[in-house]
Chain A
């Protein structure tokens, strides 16, 4: 298979391909399991009246798209990227004028199948962003340059939000990870994370608790500023925020303890360095953030739609939610996954998913079937497969010679990561319910085809990496 000229230009990256194929196959089996009821209704796996039959077809279409992409010359992608991006935007505008399905105007219907342009817009936007970031003479980090790059991401977001599809809109936020890799200022990310952390804290706690935690968190960040090394600061904030949040899920006490310990250690360290100017800064920031914290509840109640509010509340304050209403689906989802235990109930034995206790079981909540039928082993397996794939793609990004391909690879990794984290996170209650599919696994033609294109282009770029000169 590996020919001489392939080696010269780079060749296919087999680890990526294998991981991808395994995930697609696992996905099909899961959809089969979610749709299969008993022998009487089962005819063939191609049965188009069932999701698994259709998915079989979509996999075929995806393979076809992949092969087409491999036949196209790499330099051609660079040429057509602006066109693809423009076309993507046009499709997003056009879909606004279609008939709404389930309250959202996100689909074109084509002879019995529906096409979701926002899925394809992910590919075109990732390409466009990479194209823009790799343009020559753009290395100066002028403000205008940063804004232009951000607009490329925000434009499709606005259009998709107008369709009423908040989930897909949020996916585009992951492209800001690419911007980070390209050198967007670290403080923006730190600020963003702090705002998120503050919001969460403010929503979780009613009065004193959030105040204590807010002040401690902010103080930590500010005191760490003296280190002056942005990356380390970001890393610290990331770890602090995620671990604090995660600990909250288990025990408020431990989370607060962690915060306080961090604060004291950093404080002692700063005192040793005798930095007094910072204390004033700490004070002002604490005041500002306290004000923000107070207003978060108001913002959530005013800006978000009722069902979005519900999702926030059932994520952060499940005790406040009606167990029969919004909580019901999430509870059933967690029960299905939890009932899997170590090894699961076995293939096709998952009763909770089978008996329709879990909503959207072959699309957004497909992970429930994995968790129930294959247990922790299966769930961990899927997560590790995705982790391996994402890490591999990040490695691919580093070895690209063309910056276009590099930024594109970062884009692919970011989109994949966002999908995986949010999807599995929502079924397990770690993040709020945001309706986006699990890549390669969830049922859905548009999603599967878009991910095939996304991966196909990446593999094509990588296979030609040595051919491209900087």
Chain B
């Protein structure tokens, strides 16, 4: 039997011998023929070069976010043990205690992650101020070396919500990135840092270095032939006006709410304030970050919540401007339609109250005096335009208009977690009340901006933009320019978006808005030489004091700024929201506040405390 398989035995033996011979040849190649490994006495190591993350600037080039150095100190146990180290001096320079030193240096050596021969992190995240004294003396301490890392610094401490922050990547992000991120890398987690991560990040480089046997750098491998330079991230120039942003944050101090200011001709956001806010620096990479973050998340005032984008409010009377334009477009009203007001809107037991005001001779007057009766009536006619028994079609027509104004859906701003708001349509009321079980009167409060309608402050500002532009807007955005960007991330913001209202229908509305400040609900916020067109709103709040709101743009012709202000529990629109708007407008257009009356108003706003009224 064995004779039969003699051949096979030979093939088998031959195969194994050939393979083992291959091993021998391979060793000969590596160890004898190839002398690249043999001659060098030092050790080649590939080191990642981290790119510097792109800076973030305001529209005038002032810095909002910069890179700030921070230091990690590494230690090698065996080397420290052998060297004569002046521990006391070392600790004194680093401002740490002796016990910290010892607990940091004696790791659990049975664990696989630590080796007595390999450097491990001794102290991390030392701010440059604390590190400076030891930096020059560092050569004295054998066995220690340091890495410089870049974290984010905030020279002007503004705009925490929109700027966002960076943090260490988590494991899922590492595995999803296909090698782009390594654990320990930083990634933008919120705000602009998140949205423009791809452009801000830059590209890592590699440096092949030679090290001696203790890990000290000796030179570059093959004169840097294989090295790849790191490419810095693109600088992001935002549309934010730093002075305006700063001023807005001051005005909103001790209040809850939001301000959004937009340049109508471009859709560029000039300022975006959500109050209460926080100092962005506390969420930068630092030692106390975790506690700061916990404090912010547990705060009942929800400072982390970006109200400008994420809060959905009923708009209140500011909605009347929009409704006027839509009604004019639909032919429900003509510019000169007047209407008597008997102190409210009455309809078979339903009563929507109004306040005493002058005669309403045209649409402008209705806006000027914010007449509730007028708009309930307009709403009624709008919804019943196809007949009393067919409110669905009218309701959907209105919803269609509102959507064209960017309501009920995300506008598409370049920030994460924007809210959509809510535009009620026929389907909504059918769901809630059943098919054909509702009439215009069910939804009439929508006519005065209350009820089921929900709008974000950003969308409110956008309404002002649309009126200022007489019928169109650009997607509001903060990114103005990405220096050296090849991804074309900003291209989509150049596109005009039209509403369904013809430009000619805006003039009566605008006239009314101008009157609001000259002789209407917002007189207190008038500026002598700047024509502001605005509309106040007082939003009924079942849970507490009314919300104060205001939208405006200025000047009337060639508007430079459109703004929305929302102050939670601020009472009348004219009390807080309108003055804040007018101050912001003056600050932006004139760069300072002029005249004693205006100064008085400014002080009044700055001093107002709506969060803890007693103090």
Question: Is B a genuine binding partner of A?
Answer: yes
**Residues of chain A at the chain B interface (Cβ within 8 Å):** 37-38, 40-41, 49, 177, 180-183, 231, 234-235, 238-239, 242, 246, 322-325, 328, 331, 334-335, 337-342, 351-352, 354-357, 371, 375-376, 379-380, 383-384, 386-387, 390-391, 394, 397-398, 403, 410, 413, 417, 420-421, 424-425, 428-430
B169 at the interface (CB under 8 A from A): no
Contact B27–A380 (Cβ < 8 Å): yes
Contact A371–B27 (Cβ < 8 Å): yes
| Chain A residues closer than 8 Å to B287, beta-carbon distance | none
B19 at the interface (CB under 8 A from A): yes
Q: Smallest CB-CB separation from A327: which chain B residue?
A: B46
Contact B31–A390 (Cβ < 8 Å): no
| Chain A residues closer than 8 Å to B13, beta-carbon distance | 391, 394
- The distance from the CB of B1 to the nearest CB of chain A, in whole angstroms, is 8
Contact B22–A430 (Cβ < 8 Å): yes
| Chain B residues closer than 8 Å to A341, beta-carbon distance | 31-32, 38
- The distance from the CB of A353 to the nearest CB of chain B, in whole angstroms, is 11
B613 at the interface (CB under 8 A from A): no
Contact B18–A242 (Cβ < 8 Å): yes
Contact A37–B31 (Cβ < 8 Å): no
Q: A387-B20, A421-B20 are in contact. List 16 more A-B contacts (CB 8 A).
A: A38-B78, A181-B5, A181-B8, A231-B7, A242-B22, A324-B48, A328-B46, A335-B44, A340-B31, A342-B31, A342-B32, A371-B30, A376-B31, A413-B16, A425-B23, A428-B23
Contact B116–A386 (Cβ < 8 Å): no
| Chain A residues closer than 8 Å to B30, beta-carbon distance | 334, 337-338, 371, 428
Interface residues of B in 47-62 (CB under 8 A from A): 48
| A-B CB contacts (within 8 Å), total count | 144
Q: Smallest CB-CB separation from B118: which chain A residue?
A: A356
- The distance from the CB of A106 to the nearest CB of chain B, in whole angstroms, is 17
Interface residues of B in 1-51 (CB under 8 A from A): 1-2, 4-5, 7-20, 22-28, 30-32, 34, 36-38, 40, 43-46, 48
**Residues of chain B at the chain A interface (Cβ within 8 Å):** 1-2, 4-5, 7-20, 22-28, 30-32, 34, 36-38, 40, 43-46, 48, 78, 81, 110, 115-118, 179, 206, 208, 213, 215, 226
Q: Choose among B9, B24, B32 the residue that contacts A181 (Cβ–Cβ < 8 A).
A: B9
- In the bound assembly, the distance between CA atoms of A337 and B31 in angstroms comes to 7
Q: Choose among B7, B15, B27 the residue that contacts A428 (Cβ–Cβ < 8 A).
A: B27
Selected A-B contacts with CB under 8 Å, 7 pairs? A231-B7, A231-B10, A246-B22, A322-B179, A356-B115, A384-B24, A420-B20
Q: Smallest CB-CB separation from B2: which chain A residue?
A: A398
Most chain-A Cβ atoms within 10 A of its Cβ — which of B9, B22, B115, B226?
Answer: B22
Contact A235–B11 (Cβ < 8 Å): yes
| Chain A residues closer than 8 Å to B81, beta-carbon distance | 40
Contact B215–A355 (Cβ < 8 Å): yes
Contact A398–B18 (Cβ < 8 Å): no
- In the bound assembly, the distance between CA atoms of A416 and B490 in angstroms comes to 62
Q: Contacts A324-B206, A376-B28, A390-B16 given: A357-B43 contact, CB under 8 Å?
A: yes
| Chain A residues closer than 8 Å to B117, beta-carbon distance | 37, 354-356
- The distance from the CB of B505 to the nearest CB of chain A, in whole angstroms, is 59
- The distance from the CB of B354 to the nearest CB of chain A, in whole angstroms, is 68
Contact A355–B23 (Cβ < 8 Å): no
| Chain A residues closer than 8 Å to B25, beta-carbon distance | 246
| Chain B residues closer than 8 Å to A183, beta-carbon distance | 4-5, 8
- The distance from the CB of A273 to the nearest CB of chain B, in whole angstroms, is 23
Most chain-A Cβ atoms within 10 A of its Cβ — which of B23, B34, B78?
Answer: B23
| Chain B residues closer than 8 Å to A323, beta-carbon distance | 46, 206, 208, 226
- In the bound assembly, the distance between CA atoms of A386 and B22 in angstroms comes to 13
Q: Choose among A234, A351, A379, A429 the residue that contacts B31 (Cβ–Cβ < 8 A).
A: A379
- In the bound assembly, the distance between CA atoms of A6 and B45 in angstroms comes to 58
- The distance from the CB of B45 to the nearest CB of chain A, in whole angstroms, is 8
- The distance from the CB of B610 to the nearest CB of chain A, in whole angstroms, is 54
- The distance from the CB of B21 to the nearest CB of chain A, in whole angstroms, is 8
Contact A37–B206 (Cβ < 8 Å): no
- In the bound assembly, the distance between CA atoms of A413 and B27 in angstroms comes to 22
| Chain B residues closer than 8 Å to A394, beta-carbon distance | 9, 12-13, 16
- In the bound assembly, the distance between CA atoms of A380 and B23 in angstroms comes to 9
- The distance from the CB of B538 to the nearest CB of chain A, in whole angstroms, is 59
Contact B9–A398 (Cβ < 8 Å): yes
- In the bound assembly, the distance between CA atoms of A454 and B36 in angstroms comes to 40
- The distance from the CB of A318 to the nearest CB of chain B, in whole angstroms, is 13
- In the bound assembly, the distance between CA atoms of A299 and B43 in angstroms comes to 37
- The distance from the CB of A374 to the nearest CB of chain B, in whole angstroms, is 10
| Chain A residues closer than 8 Å to B7, beta-carbon distance | 231
- The distance from the CB of A379 to the nearest CB of chain B, in whole angstroms, is 4
| Chain A residues closer than 8 Å to B10, beta-carbon distance | 231
- The distance from the CB of B375 to the nearest CB of chain A, in whole angstroms, is 61
Q: Contacts A49-B110, A181-B9, A394-B13 given: A338-B34 contact, CB under 8 Å?
A: yes
| Chain A residues closer than 8 Å to B32, beta-carbon distance | 341-342, 376
- In the bound assembly, the distance between CA atoms of A180 and B9 in angstroms comes to 9
- In the bound assembly, the distance between CA atoms of A200 and B192 in angstroms comes to 47
- In the bound assembly, the distance between CA atoms of A403 and B2 in angstroms comes to 10
| Chain A residues closer than 8 Å to B115, beta-carbon distance | 356
| Chain B residues closer than 8 Å to A242, beta-carbon distance | 18-19, 22
Contact A371–B31 (Cβ < 8 Å): yes
- In the bound assembly, the distance between CA atoms of A464 and B5 in angstroms comes to 23
- In the bound assembly, the distance between CA atoms of A421 and B18 in angstroms comes to 11
| Chain B residues closer than 8 Å to A181, beta-carbon distance | 5, 8-9, 12
| Chain A residues closer than 8 Å to B27, beta-carbon distance | 337, 371, 376, 379-380, 383, 424, 428
- In the bound assembly, the distance between CA atoms of A425 and B81 in angstroms comes to 39
Contact A231–B37 (Cβ < 8 Å): no
- In the bound assembly, the distance between CA atoms of A467 and B19 in angstroms comes to 35
Contact B20–A390 (Cβ < 8 Å): yes
Q: Smallest CB-CB separation from A377: which chain B residue?
A: B31
Q: Smallest CB-CB separation from A183: which chain B residue?
A: B5
| Chain B residues closer than 8 Å to A387, beta-carbon distance | 16-17, 20
Q: Contacts A37-B117, A337-B31 given: A425-B26 contact, CB under 8 Å?
A: yes
Closest 9 CB pairs of A and B: A338-B37, A231-B7, A376-B31, A338-B30, A379-B27, A341-B38, A387-B20, A339-B37, A428-B26
- In the bound assembly, the distance between CA atoms of A332 and B19 in angstroms comes to 24
- The distance from the CB of A122 to the nearest CB of chain B, in whole angstroms, is 17
- The distance from the CB of A41 to the nearest CB of chain B, in whole angstroms, is 7
| Chain B residues closer than 8 Å to A334, beta-carbon distance | 30, 37
- In the bound assembly, the distance between CA atoms of A351 and B179 in angstroms comes to 30
Contact A239–B2 (Cβ < 8 Å): no
Most chain-A Cβ atoms within 10 A of its Cβ — which of B2, B7, B11?
Answer: B11
- In the bound assembly, the distance between CA atoms of A334 and B38 in angstroms comes to 11
Most chain-A Cβ atoms within 10 A of its Cβ — which of B40, B46, B206?
Answer: B46
Q: Choose among A235, A413, A417 the residue that contacts B14 (Cβ–Cβ < 8 A).
A: A235
Contact A234–B26 (Cβ < 8 Å): no
| Chain B residues closer than 8 Å to A403, beta-carbon distance | 1
Q: Contacts A376-B28, A394-B12 given: A355-B118 contact, CB under 8 Å?
A: yes
- In the bound assembly, the distance between CA atoms of A375 and B30 in angstroms comes to 10
- The distance from the CB of B460 to the nearest CB of chain A, in whole angstroms, is 48
Q: Smallest CB-CB separation from A352: which chain B residue?
A: B43
- In the bound assembly, the distance between CA atoms of A30 and B26 in angstroms comes to 21
Q: Smallest CB-CB separation from A400: which chain B residue?
A: B2
| Chain B residues closer than 8 Å to A37, beta-carbon distance | 78, 116-117
- The distance from the CB of B251 to the nearest CB of chain A, in whole angstroms, is 50
- The distance from the CB of B197 to the nearest CB of chain A, in whole angstroms, is 21
- In the bound assembly, the distance between CA atoms of A357 and B119 in angstroms comes to 12
Q: Smallest CB-CB separation from B27: which chain A residue?
A: A379
| Chain A residues closer than 8 Å to B4, beta-carbon distance | 183
Q: Contacts A37-B78, A325-B179, A335-B37 given: A383-B31 contact, CB under 8 Å?
A: no
- In the bound assembly, the distance between CA atoms of A37 and B213 in angstroms comes to 13
- In the bound assembly, the distance between CA atoms of A180 and B15 in angstroms comes to 12
- The distance from the CB of A197 to the nearest CB of chain B, in whole angstroms, is 14
Q: Contacts A231-B7, A357-B43 given: A383-B18 contact, CB under 8 Å?
A: no
Q: Smallest CB-CB separation from A41: which chain B residue?
A: B116
